[in-house]
Amino acid sequence: MQRISLVKLAHDFIGKILHSGDIAIDATLGNGYDTAFLMSQVGLSGKVYGFDTQPKAIDATAVKLGEQTCVTLIHASHAEMSANIPVHLHGKIRACMFNLGYLPGGDKRMTTQVESTLAALNSISKILAEDGIITIIAYPSHQGGAQEMVQVKNWCEQLDARQYTFKTVYSDEYNSTAPQLFVVCKAQALHNLLSLRSLIIPSTKGHIMSEFSNVSVVKKANVYFGGNVSSRTIRFADGSLKTLGFMLPGEYTFNTADKELMEIIDGELEVLLPDSEQWQPIKGGEAFDVPANAQFTVKVSTATDYCCSFLK
């Protein structure tokens, strides 16, 4: 199975959110590749802040970028980002990238650490914009890397589901030492992503994985259209609800009470959204949202597995 380039995928996600004039952070400079990407997105009217504890990374990035007034390189731990980002920019950070592990071409014994990584994630979550996005690439193959990846996953799972959504992307699900990408979106960022039909989450079967922890499941199934559509409700500790369901081929019309986010896990369908006269094709790995107190229709062409989130 061909492996996904998680760096490219992270750039693709952020590229949909980050624009000219925005503020971004590269939490792990490395050799400056992510910094250069962020700089290309925000332009001269924006600002990129880059962090690294290794002078070699600072120097390599400076050489790669040249003289750039829109980039500030900071020789400090990313755990200290709040203290190093001007206070007036807190709450305005549109994107933050983490590429964990060691400096490519550097000393492999010098790696990111669980404690500082979690501190940095907590820090960026407090200064991220309401339409902000965080990407984290974790590598389990180096010493301490597996523990760091587990802790990052735990951190994502403990985020307030009413404010954040996250996805985990495996570069190779059959290799336990393969890197993983965590994409964390604030609510408005997720809405912006879904409003862009060019957004494609890789649909290669098996690469997009999602799981829920610390939930309760309603035993009785929700059955519609003579059994052609069925689902089960899961409840989160904060009281929010999702349904995990399955649709057989056919055409079905639904009414919403709350705003809904429909994530298609596997399968293919077309959707006719409210106030639209055009059917939109949706396949596994893509999603759409529907406003509250509305009606939408789907034409399911193949058996389809879905997750529906009810948004207050």
CB 264 within 8 A of CB 285: yes
CA–CA gap between residue 21 and residue 261 (Å, rounded): 29
Cβ–Cβ contacts within 10 Å for residue 147, how many?
12
CA–CA gap between residue 135 and residue 153 (Å, rounded): 12
Q: Domain boundary residue among 209, 237, 270? A: 209
Predicted confidence at residue 191, as pLDDT, reads 56
How do residues 15-46 score in pLDDT, each as one tens digit? Answer: 989 999 999 999 999 999 999 999 999 999 99
Decide if 180 is inside a domain. Answer: yes
How do residues 188-207 score in pLDDT, each as one tens digit? Answer: 666 565 544 333 344 333 33
Number of domains composing the chain: 2
Predicted confidence at residue 208, as pLDDT, reads 41
Mean of the per-residue pLDDT values for the chain?
A: 86
* CATH code, 126: 3.40.50.150
Q: Are residues 174 and 288 in the same domain?
A: no
Q: Are residues 236 and 286 in the same domain?
A: yes
Task: For residue 94, give its domain range.
Answer: 6-209
User: Which pLDDT band holds residue 116 (cuts at 50, 70, 90)?
Assistant: very high
CB 41 within 8 A of CB 18: yes
Decide if 185 is inside a domain. Answer: yes
Radius of gyration of the chain from Cα atoms? 21
Predicted confidence at residue 90, as pLDDT, reads 97
CB 266 within 8 A of CB 282: no
Predicted confidence at residue 299, as pLDDT, reads 95
Angle at 275 between CA 269 and CA 279, to 5 degrees: 25
Statement: residue 49 has pLDDT above 90: yes
How do residues 130-181 score in pLDDT, each as one tens digit? Answer: 989 999 999 988 888 899 999 999 999 898 877 888 888 877 655 667 888 9
How much is the average pLDDT of 70-98? 96
Q: Domain boundary residue among 170, 185, 209? A: 209
Decide if 302 is inside a domain. Answer: yes
Which residue pairs, CB below 8 angstroms and at least 24 apart, start in 142-151? 142/101, 142/102, 142/108, 142/111, 143/109, 143/111, 144/111, 144/113, 144/114, 145/100, 145/101, 145/111, 147/114, 148/100, 148/112, 148/113, 148/114, 148/117, 149/100, 149/180, 151/114, 151/117, 151/118
Starting at the edge strand that comes first in sequence, how are the strands of the sheet with 164-170 ordered?
71-75, 47-52, 23-26, 93-99, 128-138, 180-186, 164-170, 208-209
How much is the average pLDDT of 111-115? 92
Q: Domain boundary residue among 148, 176, 209? A: 209
Statement: residue 72 has pLDDT above 90: yes
More reliable by pLDDT, 63 or 191: 63
CA–CA gap between residue 143 and residue 139 (Å, rounded): 10
Q: Are residues 251 and 171 in the same domain?
A: no
Residue 252 CA to its chain's centroid (Å): 30
Decide if 59 is inside a domain. Answer: yes
Residue 293 CA to its chain's centroid (Å): 28
The pLDDT > 70 percentage for the chain reads 89
Q: Are residues 38 and 77 in the same domain?
A: yes
Predicted confidence at residue 163, as pLDDT, reads 84
How much is the average pLDDT of 228-247? 90
How much is the average pLDDT of 93-111? 89
Q: Are residues 260 and 230 in the same domain?
A: yes
Decide if 1 is inside a domain. Answer: no
Q: Are residues 233 and 187 in the same domain?
A: no
